[in-house]
Amino acid sequence: MAWDFSTEPEFQEKLDWIRDFVDNTIIPLDLLCEGLDQAQLDELWAPLKYEVKKQGLWAPHLGPEDGGQGMGQMSLALIHEILGRHSLAPEIFGCQGPDSGNAELLAVGATEEQRERWLYPLIRGDVRSTFSMTEPFTASSDPTEMKTRARRDGDEWVINGHKWFASNASVSDFTLLFCITDPEAPPHQRASMIVVPRGTPGMTVVRDVGSMAHPHTAEPGQLFDRIGGHSEVLYEDCRVPLDHIIGAPGEGFLLSQKRLGGGRIHHAMRCIGQAQYAFEMMCERAVSRTTKGKPLGKMQMVQDMIAISYTELETARLIVLRAAWTMDQRGDHGSKSRTEISMIKYHVPKLTLDIIDRAIQIHGALGYTTDMPLEQMYRQGRALRIADGADEVHKQAMARQVLKDVQPVEGWPSEHLPTRRAAAQQRFGAQVDAVRARR
Ligand SMILES: Cc1cc2nc3c(=O)[nH]c(=O)nc-3n(C[C@H](O)[C@H](O)[C@H](O)COP(=O)(O)OP(=O)(O)OC[C@H]3O[C@@H](n4cnc5c(N)ncnc54)[C@H](O)[C@@H]3O)c2cc1C
């Protein structure tokens, strides 16, 4: 089937509106918001969100039955490339992680009562949510090893465990907790997804961990009072009613897969937005700054950086669009497009960091300062080589898929190596020898 990446004129108009809104409203407003708390930020963001809703662009990742726009992955990819220009933009469009992935999970697994309680308020932007899988003392690249446990006691789940990197847990209204409910079951049927509302006794947000994106020391009890914190959370005999489980017990892995496919495409496309923004700054600098009497862009080594960056940007965009297109064709939340999704998940963040790095280089000392957004883009971008699955895990998954249908060479290993030449000889040898002999 031929790929078709063209856009309808009406959709292009929407993309143009989004680009203008991100560049001329969201980016300049956010420049002045340093130090404000979440309540102050929410006040400033509310009219922007209202404007996005008025344009019919709110929560574009969800189907219309869930209050979204029902767009395919291709259209979403094009939107997310623009939203990627600034980290605040997805929030203003109602499609920021982890809320967007959590909404997708609830849309698939929640009962009508649970949807009323958690999904619809989340989609409207009235509440915030957290997804919590990662643990400080188990390698979370393999969640079958998780230790956090929910035990059934009468009509309640009793939760004990230790999590961290639960993004936004210090300001969110509920957590989707991925935890073990049946340690004896086969590895991928051991875990479930349980909702823990904010303030449930026995759940303690210990601190928001300092990180490359927020480089403060975070002592126990120190919480950011805004979204963007990665929280360490303790569960000590924390009790929630049985009806807080999403899906059936043991369906945690199944549900977690549903939340990741689209999200990874959107992450990758937002990376491209970052890379594009860095590339634009790199080019502006190359034609504006002069040395030895000519613009930097006339220097061959600078040209090399620009040529490589442009090639990487365009190839990255192409493979992400192809992955989005593949998901649209095959459906099923990406479970049939795992190779394509793993490929972009590991490849695009790395390319983006390389492009931002070159943009910093071409800006010299200025690139290293907070007068330009590049240093912040680099620090924030680094997370994506780890979050949502480390590069190595995706490479491994991808190679596994690629090798799945490759057949071993018959008779290998053997004293008579079945080389390609030997096979050709067997098939065409006599014919070629006959022609050779006639000469
Ligand atoms: C900014 C940010 C936000 C995050 N937000 C959330 C969140 O909201 N909720 C949540 O639950 N988690 C979140 N995480 C955590 C993230 O999902 C985990 O860090 C990730 O799954 C890796 O788990 P780990 O840190 O335990 O690393 P480990 O599993 O200990 O792995 C460490 C390293 O070992 C290597 N490695 C691991 N497995 C393999 C393998 N099979 N083959 C080869 N090499 C391997 C990789 O290089 C990997 O980086 C976030 C992380 C970051 C950085």
**Quick one: how far is CA 436 from the chain centroid?**
60
* CATH number of the domain to which 39 belongs: 1.10.540.10
**281-310 residue pLDDT tens:** 999 999 999 999 999 999 999 999 999 999
**Domain contains 272:** yes
Same domain, yes or no, for 160 and 52? no
* CATH number of the domain to which 213 belongs: 2.40.110.10
Tokens describing residue 371:
């007068």
| 3 state DSSP class of 209 | strand
**81-134 residue pLDDT tens:** 999 999 999 999 999 989 988 998 999 899 999 999 999 999 999 999 999 999
Is any atom of ligand 1 closer than 6 Å to the C-beta of 166? yes
Radius of gyration from C-alpha coordinates of the chain: 25
Atom of ligand 1 minimally distant from the CA of 138: 26
Is any atom of ligand 1 closer than 6 Å to the C-beta of 379? no
Same domain, yes or no, for 268 and 363? yes
**Residue range(s) defining the domain that contains residue 82:** 9-124
**376-400 residue pLDDT tens:** 999 999 999 999 899 999 999 999 9
Answer whether 381's CB lies under 8 Å from 353's CB.
Answer: yes
Concatenating the DSSP letter of every residue in 179-222 gives EES-TTS-GGGSEEEEEEETT-TTEEEEEEEP-SSS-S---TT-
Atom of ligand 1 minimally distant from the CA of 130: 8
Is any atom of ligand 1 closer than 6 Å to the C-beta of 179? no
Is any atom of ligand 1 closer than 6 Å to the C-beta of 139? yes
Q: Tell me the CA–centroid distance for residue 399 and ligand 1, in Å.
A: 19
Per-residue b/e over 13-31, b at no fewer than 16 CB within 10 Å?
A: ebeeebeebbeeebbeebe
Q: What share of the chain is helix, strand, coil (3-state, %, to 5)?
A: 55, 15, 30
The whole-angstrom separation of Cα 285 and Cα 192 is 51
Per-residue b/e over 53-62, b at no fewer than 16 CB within 10 Å?
A: eeeebbbbbb
**217-271 residue pLDDT tens:** 678 888 887 888 899 999 999 999 999 999 999 999 999 887 766 678 888 989 9
Indicate the residue among 82, 100, 124 that finishes a domain.
124
Alpha carbon of 403 to those of 122, 124, 327, 418: distances in Å?
40, 43, 21, 20
The whole-angstrom separation of Cα 233 and Cα 83 is 30
Is any atom of ligand 1 closer than 6 Å to the C-beta of 244? no
Q: Tell me the CA–centroid distance for residue 304 and ligand 1, in Å.
A: 34
Is any atom of ligand 1 closer than 6 Å to the C-beta of 230? yes
**Domain contains 242:** yes
Is any atom of ligand 1 closer than 6 Å to the C-beta of 175? no
Atom of ligand 1 minimally distant from the CA of 167: 8
Indicate the residue among 99, 124, 149 that finishes a domain.
124
- Of 223, 231, 221, nearest to 163 by C-alpha is 231
Q: Tell me the CA–centroid distance for residue 212 and ligand 1, in Å.
A: 15
Tokens describing residue 37:
């708390």
The whole-angstrom separation of Cα 191 and Cα 42 is 35
Same domain, yes or no, for 269 and 236? no
